[in-house]
Amino acid sequence: MRVPSKCRTCGEPAIIDLPRHNAKFCAEHFQELCRRQVVKAIDQFSMLTPADRILVAVSGGKDSLAVWDLLIELGYQADGLYIGLGIGDYSDVSGDYARAFAQERGLHLIEVSLRSEYGYDIPTAARATRRVPCSACGLSKRHLFDKAAIEGGYTVLVTGHNLDDEAAVLLGNTLRWDIDYLSRQLPVLEARGGFPKKVKPLVRLTERETAAWCVVRGIDYLVDECPMAAGNKHLGYKDTLNSMEAVSPGSKAAFYLNFIDKMAPILASHFQEERDALGTCGRCGAPAAGEICAFCRLVETASAHEPVPVELVMKGRR
Amino acid sequence: MRVPSKCRTCGEPAIIDLPRHNAKFCAEHFQELCRRQVVKAIDQFSMLTPADRILVAVSGGKDSLAVWDLLIELGYQADGLYIGLGIGDYSDVSGDYARAFAQERGLHLIEVSLRSEYGYDIPTAARATRRVPCSACGLSKRHLFDKAAIEGGYTVLVTGHNLDDEAAVLLGNTLRWDIDYLSRQLPVLEARGGFPKKVKPLVRLTERETAAWCVVRGIDYLVDECPMAAGNKHLGYKDTLNSMEAVSPGSKAAFYLNFIDKMAPILASHFQEERDALGTCGRCGAPAAGEICAFCRLVETASAHEPVPVELVMKGRR
């Protein structure tokens, strides 16, 4: 006989089982747990204050919509920024979800289109640079998020990176013992020389939990993974961590949170010297290591290339 | 059509494919590679000199026989130490392999029997202490190896830990960010307060390579894993690393060797303070944290327990 599933907090029927907390929860108390974890992350790492003007990087996926929703619910002032990446239907649909979320809640969503404002899209950039699509995509998003935050007078840029994302990046950096990347893998990066403060309030929630948050809150989001990310190493690291999590519930959170607790302080004291005495991009004014920043170089290369549909890039990779 | 497999060095038919070196080798040049990797480890970490009197911890398995064989071949003076752990047939057979290896080569093998000299065996110790067998086994071996090295006037204790062993232990310590263990995970531990110098010359060879070494050298060894280790976490970490290695050949070696190169120095400077101001065991004279060392406490508990056959302990675990 199966033991009936009851919420740990109230004893009512549970809707979700969280082995790492060794507990089940009803919809109401699951939301309470999520809010508690987000508040804990915000407090522990001094991420946000009620006075902050927050810009949320919004993709239309579960994580970015969940973090926007959570911040508004917790009383913060937060606008959204959506970047049209031009990844075929995937981007069209993701934009629809982002717009619908903002509209239904009367929230302000800023939109930037790579194709119409910069003359390229991610599939074309991938082909033009002959690198994996995630490389051009990450570079474009980082640059445009930073730019929008600085130009819009926002005090903090929020991203929806969850525990699975952070643990997977940590595993990759750890497998190579990339000390430079490891020393910067923090849930908060303070503002410095032209870059806004960046924070990740979802680092204490798994992607299963952010998905469940959206479901219980009635938030429609784009479920599909980006078609261009299929088979990348990051997803492989997630699988590895999930296999270990299945054997030892809680090991994924312990891996990431113990790193932040125990290892990050050691690395910080070793690597506080100024690494990035950056200059200014001669073209756009953003911080740059050379004359021209990496984004402006990408724009130059990619916008000169004839548009490449996503299907063609995917086919070329198989 | 399959490309014929040729030795990278001489072009003769290859007997082994080593994806992490992106090469295949014949028996002769595979042995050359193994010797080179062992010499490199010995040199890089100042493990051994020709003047050292070496004691090799010998189990009868591939790694310990391979390292003993390699050291003798490289011109070192090395005796062996075999500990009879009393793990049923497994221990009987492993002892036969160790003795045969020594006898055929005219090498000196010291033998210690837990049951006849200390009144217990590992299955009984596991039952008596109600802990996993690997715990009592590790404690017993460490103590008796140290004791034999010190009392026998050996200058270095060699163990056959290979790259897979070290990488798996490293992964376990990393997943918990156990800074204390991480800071001590080195291929050489210098002699200190009652402990002999300990070195691991096989850290640059995988267990597939040490097995192949034994095969091409005609060394008979016990192939079976210890029956009591089945399902332990260490083996799980090996599986995890092997899955990643299959996708990215060389990632296992990079994980371990980059740790030693890049991370161990950072941890060393953080943890050089004297942790172990150890006293002396009132019973056996070994270094001890309390009045009586952990080994003497184990002997007391386990020897008072009636003998438990290995099959019973295994059955109790299922």
Beta-carbon separation of B254 and A176 below 8 A: yes
Rg of chain A over all Cα atoms, to the nearest angstrom:
20
CB contact A189 to B (< 8 Å): no
Q: Which of A236, A247, A262 sits opposite B177 (nearest CB)?
A: A262
Residue of B nearest to A170 (CA): B175
User: Which has the minimum average pLDDT: A42-46, A182-186, A230-234, B256-260?
Assistant: A230-234
Domain B45-317: which CATH number of 3.40.50.2300, 3.50.50.60, 3.40.50.1000, 3.40.50.620: 3.40.50.620
Q: What's the CA angle centered on B184, arms B179 and B186, to 5 degrees?
A: 130
Q: Which of B177, B255, B258 sits opposite A258 (nearest CB)?
A: B177
The pLDDT of residue B315: 72
- Which residue type sits at B305? H
Shortest distance between the Cα of A175 and any Cα of chain B, in A, equals: 5
Chain centre to alpha carbon of residue B16: 24
Q: What's the CA angle centered on B32, arms B27 and B34, to 5 degrees?
A: 95
Beta-carbon separation of A175 and B254 below 8 A: yes
Would you tell me how many other CB atoms lie within 10 Å of the CB of residue A294? Answer: 16
Beta-carbon separation of A263 and B175 below 8 A: no
Phi-psi region of B114 (alpha: psi -120 to 50; beta: other; left: phi over 0): alpha
CB contact A258 to B (< 8 Å): yes
pLDDT digits (tens, 9 = 90+) for B40-69: 999 999 999 999 999 999 999 999 999 999
pLDDT at A4 exceeding the cut of 90: no
Please identify every stretch of chain B with a pLDDT value under 70, giving residue numbers as ranges: 1-4, 270-277, 316-318
Rg of chain B over all Cα atoms, to the nearest angstrom:
20
**Domain-by-domain residue ranges, chain B?**
45-317
DSSP B193: T
Contacts 24+ apart (CB under 8 A), B250-255: B250/B19, B250/B20, B251/A175, B252/B20, B252/B163, B252/B164, B252/B167, B252/B206, B253/B20, B253/B163, B253/B167, B253/B204, B253/B206, B254/A175, B254/A176, B255/A174, B255/A175, B255/A176, B255/A177, B255/B167, B255/B170, B255/B171
CB contact A260 to B (< 8 Å): no
Q: Which of A240, A254, A263 sits opposite B244 (nearest CB)?
A: A240
Chain B neighbors of A262, CB-CB under 8 A = 177, 179
pLDDT at A238 exceeding the cut of 80: yes
Q: Which of A177, A244, A251 sits opposite B263 (nearest CB)?
A: A177
Closest alpha carbon to B56 in B33, B74, B37: B74
Burial of A165 (0-12, 13-18, 19+ CB in 10 A): buried
Shortest distance between the Cα of A240 and any Cα of chain B, in A, equals: 7
pLDDT at A275 exceeding the cut of 80: no
DSSP for A262-277 reads IIHHHHHHHS-S----
Would you tell me how many other CB atoms lie within 10 Å of the CB of residue A144? Answer: 18
Under 8 Å CB-to-CB from B315, ≥6 apart: which residues? none
- The residue with tokens 């002396």 is B280
- Which residue type sits at A13? P
Q: Is A284 helix (H, G, I), strand (E, B) or coil?
A: coil
Residue of A nearest to B258 (CA): A177
The pLDDT of residue B231: 73
Read off the pLDDT band of A1 (50, 70, 90): very low
The pLDDT of residue B1: 42
Residue of A nearest to B259 (CA): A177
Beta-carbon separation of B258 and A177 below 8 A: yes
Beta-carbon separation of B266 and A261 below 8 A: no
Would you tell me how many other CB atoms lie within 10 Å of the CB of residue A184? Answer: 15
Cβ–Cβ under 8 Å, residues A160 and A210: yes
Q: What is the mean pLDDT of residues A11-19?
A: 95
The pLDDT of residue B312: 82
Beta-carbon separation of A179 and B261 below 8 A: no
Chain B neighbors of A254, CB-CB under 8 A = 175-176
The pLDDT of residue A318: 46
Rounded CA-CA distance B240/A241 in Å is 9
Q: Which of B179, B251, B259 sits opposite A262 (nearest CB)?
A: B179
The pLDDT of residue A230: 79
Beta-carbon separation of B263 and A236 below 8 A: no
Burial of A106 (0-12, 13-18, 19+ CB in 10 A): exposed
Q: Which of A175, A247, A259 sits opposite B251 (nearest CB)?
A: A175
CB contact A177 to B (< 8 Å): yes
* DSSP H helical ranges for chain B: 27-44, 62-73, 88-105, 114-118, 122-129, 133-151, 163-176, 179-184, 207-217, 233-247, 251-258, 264-270, 294-303, 310-317
Q: Which residue has the higher pLDDT, B212 or A268?
A: B212
Rounded CA-CA distance A86/A121 in Å is 5
Look at strands B188-189 and B197-199 and give their pairing.
antiparallel
Chain A interface test: which of B166, B175, B179, B245 (most A C-beta within 10 Å): B175
Residue of A nearest to B262 (CA): A177
Helix axes A294-303, A122-129, angle to 10 degrees: 90
pLDDT digits (tens, 9 = 90+) for B233-244: 888 899 999 999
Closest alpha carbon to A226 in A316, A115, A94, A128: A94
Q: Which of B177, B258, B266 sits opposite A176 (nearest CB)?
A: B258
The two three-digit tokens of residue A273, written as one number:
């010297």
Chain B neighbors of A255, CB-CB under 8 A = 174-177
Whole-number mean pLDDT of chain A? 92
Closest alpha carbon to A251 in B246, B178, B264: B178
Beta-carbon separation of B270 and A267 below 8 A: no
Q: Which of B179, B255, B259 sits opposite A263 (nearest CB)?
A: B179
Chain centre to alpha carbon of residue A15: 26
Closest alpha carbon to A18 in A2, A41, A37: A37
Shortest distance between the Cα of A264 and any Cα of chain B, in A, equals: 10
Rounded CA-CA distance A227/A219 in Å is 22
Chain B neighbors of A175, CB-CB under 8 A = 244, 251, 254-255
Q: What's the CA angle centered on A89, arms A149 and A123, to 5 degrees?
A: 70
- Which residue type sits at B266? I
The pLDDT of residue B230: 78
Chain A neighbors of B236, CB-CB under 8 A = 244, 247
Cβ–Cβ under 8 Å, residues B140 and B295: yes
- The residue with tokens 């040490």 is B210
CB contact A240 to B (< 8 Å): yes
CB contact B264 to A (< 8 Å): no
Rounded CA-CA distance A260/A101 in Å is 33
Read off the pLDDT band of A2 (50, 70, 90): low
User: Which has the minimum average pLDDT: A52-56, A98-102, B18-22, B227-231?
Assistant: B227-231
Shortest distance between the Cα of B2 and any Cα of chain A, in A, equals: 22
Chain B neighbors of A243, CB-CB under 8 A = 240
The pLDDT of residue A231: 74
Chain A neighbors of B179, CB-CB under 8 A = 262-263, 266
Shortest distance between the Cα of B271 and any Cα of chain A, in A, equals: 11
Rounded CA-CA distance B85/B140 in Å is 9
Cβ–Cβ under 8 Å, residues B243 and A240: yes
Residue of B nearest to A172 (CA): B255
Beta-carbon separation of B176 and A244 below 8 A: no
Would you tell me how many other CB atoms lie within 10 Å of the CB of residue B53? Answer: 14
Cβ–Cβ under 8 Å, residues A119 and A301: no
Shortest distance between the Cα of B147 and any Cα of chain A, in A, equals: 35
Beta-carbon separation of B175 and A251 below 8 A: yes
